């Protein structure tokens, strides 16, 4: 099972990815966690990434892909994985698709993606619920204005990504505005029916 988890900040992606990762015994791969781990371990890719982060710049797609690929080649990821936080744009998704084809997960260039062992899961939650959830976390940098800005950026970058996977018949949309257990059950049902 190869899953990409998408959803706005506060939708519960990380929580659901961790629950399903434990349930299905496949790794939950968070690109943010990988980047931090590479930097801490001072790997060659980590040092390259650090140089961008030190300058306050985004890590380029190619470098991010190399880091994701390195992680996906580890033995625990052979049976599948849940990817959280990547891809974030259509350009990254197209780049990622090429990588998946190389490692035998991709659709072999199939435009429909039907023969591709990949599902993109979108946790859909209304903005007013997301704002309330994020404000309740009580993080210092989380005020309503910054939260709404982050949601706007997410929508601008990720709405086209949702269409990208919908057009390829790889999208699984789940209502994330429910109790955590209910969302988990809905995900299990939606995804086990596909595999």
Looking at the chain, which runs of residues are DSSP E strands? 2-6, 28-30, 81-84, 119-124, 171-175
CA distance 68 to 85: 11
Annotated catalytic residues are: 13, 88, 137, 139, 150
User: Phi, psi (5° rounding) for residue 108?
Assistant: 60, 30
Contacts (Cβ under 8 Å, ≥6 apart) of 5: 13, 16, 17, 82, 83, 84, 121, 123
Give the whole-angstrom CA distance, residue 88 versus residue 109: 20
């Amino acid at each position: 099972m190869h899953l990409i988890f998408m959803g706005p900040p506060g939708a519960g992606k990380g929580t659901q990815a961790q629950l399903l990762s434990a349930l299905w015994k496949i790794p939950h791969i968070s690109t943010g966690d990988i980047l931090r781990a590479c930097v801490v371990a001072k790997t060659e890719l980590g040092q390259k990434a650090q140089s961008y982060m030190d300058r306050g710049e985004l890590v380029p797609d190619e470098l991010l892909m190399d880091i994701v690929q390195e992680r996906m080649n580890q033995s625990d990821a052979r049976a599948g994985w849940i990817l959280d936080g990547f891809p974030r744009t259509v350009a990254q998704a197209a780049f990622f698709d090429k990588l998946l084809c190389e490692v035998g997960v991709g659709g072999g260039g199939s435009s429909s993606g039907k023969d591709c062992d990949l599902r993109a899961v979108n946790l859909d939650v209304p903005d007013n619920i997301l704002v309330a959830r994020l404000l309740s976390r009580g993080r210092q940098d989380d005020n309503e204005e910054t939260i709404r800005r982050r949601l706007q950026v997410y929508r601008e970058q990720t709405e086209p990504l949702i269409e990208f996977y919908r057009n390829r018949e790889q999208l699984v949309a789940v209502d994330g505005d429910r109790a955590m257990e209910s969302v988990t059950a809905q995900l299990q049902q939606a995804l086990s029916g596909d595999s």
